[in-house]
C-alpha cells in the first residue's frame, strides 16, 4: 500500500507554513483569480512565489484552485494567469469548468490538472471521462460512500489518482453546487462568494396567513433545517486507505492557523501510525482530543457509511472550548525568556498548553509577563502585540500557546 498524501488548506502564507510545519504533504490555496474562497486572504503573485519556494524547499507540493464556474467576463485574462502559474512552478491546479480545462490544456499543456469536488464526480464513468480529458486526479464529491469509492478506484487506471475530503465543513448542497446564496443575497457561491444561508435560522409561514411566522421547533431556540455537522474520519484511517484514496483532504481555507495545525497534526500522526504497523494499528484518543480543541461543529462521518440522514445538525453554533493566545517567536535558553506574539487576550499567571508539531502537548504557567519595552504587564490585550514570559521549560519557535476557555 502506498501512503496517501495529506492535503491541507492554506488560506494565507502563515497558514501554509503552519500546515507544512505540522506535517502536510501538500497544500491547496487560492491565487489572485477564479477561486471559490473570494473572502479568504488568498495569495498575491509575490506571496505565491514565496509560498512555492517555502514548500518546494521542504519537498512539499502546492495546488492552486481555479474552480469557479466562470461567466464570460471571468474568462478575461485566463490564459495569462495560467501561464503565470506555470512559470511559478505550481504543482497542479484544481479545476471544475470544462472551458477552463480546455484553456489550460491549450495554454499550459504540461501543468497537472486536478478535477475539483465542485464538478460533482459521483461515478466511475465520469471519472474515466475526465481522465481522458487530461485530468490527473479526481477530487471526489463528498456524497460518496466508501463502497462507491472502492468501485471508482477499481474502474480507473492506476495513473489516475483519487482525492477525498476526510475532515471539515460539509455543504447541504451537492459538493457546493448551490444557488441559495445567490438567490437570497446576490452573492454567488459558484463564483466564490457564498453567504452561507444554510446556516441561517428559518421559520415557517403558511400561505393564507401572511406575516405569521411559526418556528420549526426542535428546542427553545428553533431549528436549522439546512445545517450540517462537520466531517471527521480520523477513526477510520484503515478504511480510507483500503478504499484506495490517494490523497486525504482537509477542508478549511477560512479557518485559523491553530485549526490547521491541530487537524493536520492529528491526521499526520494517525496515518504514520497506521503505516508503521498496519496489523497492530490502534486508534489513539489523543488524536480526537486535538481535533475537539479546534473550533468545530459536531463531528460525523458524512456519507462514507451510508448514514447521510444523520448529517443534519440542530444548531449552527461552533464548539469552541480553546483559544490560541499566542505563538512563540523566539526563546532564549540562557535566560528562559520566551518572546510571544499575542493572538487572544491572556493574563499573567495563566496556565496555557504548549502545542507543537511533534510530541505531546504540555502545560506551562505564564510568569514575569512584560511588554516589548520590558515593562511589567498583567495582561496582553492587544492583537498581535509582542510580549515576553519566563519559563524554565524550553520552548521552540512557532510553538502555539492555547488556553481553555473559562
pLDDT digits (tens, 9 = 90+) for 43-59: 899 999 999 999 999 99
- Mean pLDDT of the 125-152 span: 96
- pLDDT tens string 347-376: 999 999 999 999 999 999 999 999 999 999
- pLDDT tens string 281-295: 999 999 999 999 998
Do 366 and 350 form a contact (C-beta atoms < 8 A)?
Answer: yes
Other beta carbons within 10 Å of 110: 6
Q: What is the β-pairing status of strands 92-95 and 299-300?
A: unpaired
Residue 198 lies in a domain: no
Residues 142 and 236 in one domain: yes
Residues 256 and 332 in one domain: no
Give the end of a domain, one of 286, 310, 334. Answer: 310
Do 243 and 148 form a contact (C-beta atoms < 8 A)?
Answer: no
If one compares 41 and 169, the residue with the highest pLDDT of the two is 169
Give the end of a domain, one of 279, 310, 341. Answer: 310
> Looking at the predicted structure, is the pLDDT value of residue 279 above 90?
yes
Residues 261 and 326 in one domain: no
User: At 238, which CATH number?
Assistant: 3.20.20.70
Task: Give the range of the structural domain holding residue 144, as residue numbers without chain letter.
Answer: 5-173+227-310
Do 128 and 156 form a contact (C-beta atoms < 8 A)?
Answer: yes
Specify the residue for cell string 497544500.
27
Q: How many percent of the chain have pLDDT more than 90? A: 70
**0.85 exceeded by the pTM?**
yes
Residues 131 and 256 in one domain: yes
- Mean pLDDT of the 130-148 span: 96
Residues 268 and 334 in one domain: no
- Mean pLDDT of the 76-91 span: 96
Residue 213 lies in a domain: no
Residues 293 and 352 in one domain: no
Residue 217 lies in a domain: no
Report the number of distinct structural domains present in the chain.
2
Q: DSSP class of residue 348?
A: T
Residues 274 and 369 in one domain: no
- pLDDT tens string 214-246: 665 555 545 556 678 899 999 999 999 999 999
Residue 21 lies in a domain: yes
| The 3-state secondary structure of 165-195, one letter per residue | EEEECCCCCHHHCCCHHHHHHCCCHHHCCCC
Other beta carbons within 10 Å of 107: 15
Residue 114 lies in a domain: yes
Specify the residue for cell string 468545530.
296
- Mean pLDDT of the 157-178 span: 86
Residues 30 and 107 in one domain: yes
DSSP 3-state assignment of 237? helix
Cα distances from 391 to residues 28, 328, 343, 344, 387, in angstroms, run 37, 12, 19, 20, 13
Give the end of a domain, one of 310, 338, 364. Answer: 310
- Mean pLDDT of the 108-132 span: 96
Amino acid at each position: 500500500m502506498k501512503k496517501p498524501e495529506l492535503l491541507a488548506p492554506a488560506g494565507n502564507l502563515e497558514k501554509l507554513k503552519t500546515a507544512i510545519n505540522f506535517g502536510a504533504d501538500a497544500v491547496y490555496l487560492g491565487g489572485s483569480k477564479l477561486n471559490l474562497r473570494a473572502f479568504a486572504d488568498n495569495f498575491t503573485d509575490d506571496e505565491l512565489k514565496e509560498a512555492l519556494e517555502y514548500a518546494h524547499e521542504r519537498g512539499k507540493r502546492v495546488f492552486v484552485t481555479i474552480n469557479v464556474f466562470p461567466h464570460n467576463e471571468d474568462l478575461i485574462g485566463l490564459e495569462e494567469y495560467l501561464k503565470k502559474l506555470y512559470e511559478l512552478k505550481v504543482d497542479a491546479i484544481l479545476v471544475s469548468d470544462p472551458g477552463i480545462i480546455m484553456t489550460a490544456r491549450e495554454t499550459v499543456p504540461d501543468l497537472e490538472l486536478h478535477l475539483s469536488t465542485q464538478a460533482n464526480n459521483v461515478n466511475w464513468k465520469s471519472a474515466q471521462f475526465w481522465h481522458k480529458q487530461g485530468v490527473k486526479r479526481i477530487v471526489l464529491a463528498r456524497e460518496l460512500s466508501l463502497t462507491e469509492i472502492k468501485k471508482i478506484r477499481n474502474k480507473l487506471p492506476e495513473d489516475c489518482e483519487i482525492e477525498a475530503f476526510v475532515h471539515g465543513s460539509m455543504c447541504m448542497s451537492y459538493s457546493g453546487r448551490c444557488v441559495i446564496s445567490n438567490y437570497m443575497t446576490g452573492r454567488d457561491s459558484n463564483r466564490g462568494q457564498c453567504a452561507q444561508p444554510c446556516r441561517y435560522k428559518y421559520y415557517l409561514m403558511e400561505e393564507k396567513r401572511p406575516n405569521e411566522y411559526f418556528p420549526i421547533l426542535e428546542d427553545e431556540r428553533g431549528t436549522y433545517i439546512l445545517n450540517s455537522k462537520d466531517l471527521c474520519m480520523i477513526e477510520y484511517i484503515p478504511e480510507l486507505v483500503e478504499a484506495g484514496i490517494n490523497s486525504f483532504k482537509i477542508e478549511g481555507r477560512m479557518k485559523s492557523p491553530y485549526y490547521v495545525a491541530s487537524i493536520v497534526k492529528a491526521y499526520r500522526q494517525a496515518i504514520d501510525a497506521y503505516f508503521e504497523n498496519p496489523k497492530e494499528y490502534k486508534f489513539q484518543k489523543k488524536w480526537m482530543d486535538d481535533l475537539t480543541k479546534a473550533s468545530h461543529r459536531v463531528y460525523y462521518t458524512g456519507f462514507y457509511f451510508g448514514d447521510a440522514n444523520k448529517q443534519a445538525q440542530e444548531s449552527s453554533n461552533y464548539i469552541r472550548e480553546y483559544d490560541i493566545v499566542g505563538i512563540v517567536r523566539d526563546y532564549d535558553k540562557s535566560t528562559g525568556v520566551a518572546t510571544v506574539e499575542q493572538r487572544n487576550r491572556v493574563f499573567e499567571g495563566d496556565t496555557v498548553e504548549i502545542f507543537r508539531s511533534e510530541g505531546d502537548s504540555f502545560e506551562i504557567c505564564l510568569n514575569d509577563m512584560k511588554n516589548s519595552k520590558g515593562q511589567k504587564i498583567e495582561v496582553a490585550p492587544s492583537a498581535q502585540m509582542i510580549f515576553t514570559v519566563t519559563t524554565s521549560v524550553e520552548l521552540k519557535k512557532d510553538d502555539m500557546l492555547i488556553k481553555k476557555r473559562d
